[in-house]
Amino acid sequence: MRSIFLFIKGLFHVAMKKPFFISHLITGRCNGRCPTCRWLSPQADVPIEQIIRFYEEAKGFGFYSTTLWGGEPLIRDDIAEMVIAIKRLGFRIGLITNGYLLLEKLEAIHPLDFLILSIDTVGTDLDHLRGLPGLYDRIIEALGSLKQKKIIINTVVSNYSYPGCLQVAELGRRFRRPVYYEYPIGKGLIDRTTAKEAFGKILKLKYLGYPISNSRAYLRSAMVGYFYYRCRAKDISITVGADGSITNCITGKKLGNVLREGLKPVIESDEYQKFVDSSHHCHRCTDSGAFESARIFSLDSMLNVGRLFISQQTIA
C-alpha cells in the first residue's frame, strides 16, 4: 500500500511542479574504469554528517525519495550507516551500483527500497568494459542470492557494449528483473547506424515479451537519435553533486552548494528558478529518465513507472 500511495503522491507532485526526488552523487570514486564514464573524480568524499543534515532539511521541504550513485557508492565505508540514516528519515531510497561489492555490502543493501544494477553487456565482455575481472560472475551470484530484493537492470547501449547489450534482456528474463536500455549521453559513444540497429532489435525484444521497461516511444526515438520532449526533470527533482553542488545542466554553471549553504537558499534563489524555467525548453538529455518523466501522464510511461513503484519484488 505504501508504494501505491507514493506513486500517487509522485503524480501529484509532478502536476504541481513540486520537486520530491533527489538524484545524489555521493562519491566520484570508483573501483571500475568504464570508457563511457563522465563522473569519475579523485575528490575526497563529503563527511556523512553533512549528508544526513542535508536530508533532514530536504525532508522538511517535502522531498521523500532519493537515489544514491557515483562513482561507485558501495565503495564508501560508511554507506550502510548512510542508507540506514536516510531510510529512518522516511525516504524511499535506491542505489545504483556496478555490482562488484554487492555481497560484501549486504548491510547497506537490505534497507534499500530498490537497487539499480548497471549491466551493459554480459560475460567477460562486461569485465573488460568495467576493468573489473570477475565482475559478471559476481553479479550472477548476487542476482541469485538477492531474490527478494527489488532490482532494476540498467543497460547503456554504445559502440562499446553492442551487440552484447542485447543479451541483457535474456538475463532480465532469467532472473525476472525489469531492464531499462539507455542511449548514451555524450558525443561519439554510438554511431547512427549502430543506434538504429540496436534499438530496433531492442524494440522487437519488447514486443516478444522480454522484460524491457522503456516505453516504445523512447526506443523509437533512440533508433533515430532524436528525443523531442519538454523537460520536466527539474520540476520534480534536484541533482546534487559529490561536493554538494547543484549545477545548471544546460550551461554547466554551479548555482550553489546545498551542503555548505543549505537547501533553501539554493533552490529558492532567482538564479535557480530561472534555470528551472529555462529547462522546460530543453530536450538534450538522451536518458530514459528525462524522456519518460516528461511524458509521465502518457499511458505507456505511467504504466511503466507505476509498475516499478508498486511491484514489491520482481516483475511477472
pLDDT digits over 142-173, tens only?
999 998 899 999 999 999 999 999 999 999 99
Phi, psi (deg, nearest 5) at residue 87: -65, -40
Distance in angstroms (rounded) separating the CA atoms of residues 106 and 141: 13
pLDDT digits over 203-212, tens only?
999 999 999 9
CA distances from 58 to 157, 236, 258, 266, 297 (A): 34, 13, 10, 12, 26
φ, ψ for residue 19, nearest 5 deg: -65, 140
φ/ψ of residue 192, rounded to 5: -60, -40
Question: Which pTM was predicted?
Answer: 0.89
* Beta carbons within 8 Å of 121's beta carbon, 6+ residues apart: 129, 155, 161, 164, 165, 167, 168
Contact in structure between 151 and 180 (CB atoms under 8 Å): no
Burial grade of 155 (CB within 10 A; 0-12, 13-18, 19 or more): buried
Indicate the residue type of 165. C
C-alpha cell at 159: 559502440
Q: What is the CATH number of domain 1-310?
A: 3.20.20.70
Domain ranges (residues) in the chain: 1-310
- Contact between 149 and 113 under an 8 Å Cβ cutoff? The reply is no
Q: Residue 171 carries which side chain, given as an amino acid letter?
A: L
Q: Distance (Å, rounded) from C-alpha 83 to C-alpha 75?
A: 13
Each of the 316 residues of the chain gets a pLDDT tens digit; together they read: 555 555 545 554 454 558 999 999 999 999 999 988 877 788 889 999 999 999 999 999 999 999 999 999 999 999 999 999 999 999 999 999 999 999 999 999 999 999 999 999 999 999 999 999 999 999 999 999 998 899 999 999 999 999 999 999 999 999 999 999 999 988 779 999 999 999 999 999 999 999 999 999 999 999 999 999 999 999 999 999 999 999 999 999 999 999 999 999 999 999 999 999 999 999 999 999 999 988 876 656 566 555 555 444 433 2
Tell me: the pLDDT tens digits for 3-49?
A: 555 554 555 445 455 899 999 999 999 999 998 887 778 888 999 99
Selection from 238, 138, 186 nearest residue 37 by Cα: 186
Instruction: Report how far apart, in Å, the C-alpha atoms of 302 and of each of 9, 47, 95, 222, 258 are.
Output: 13, 37, 22, 19, 31
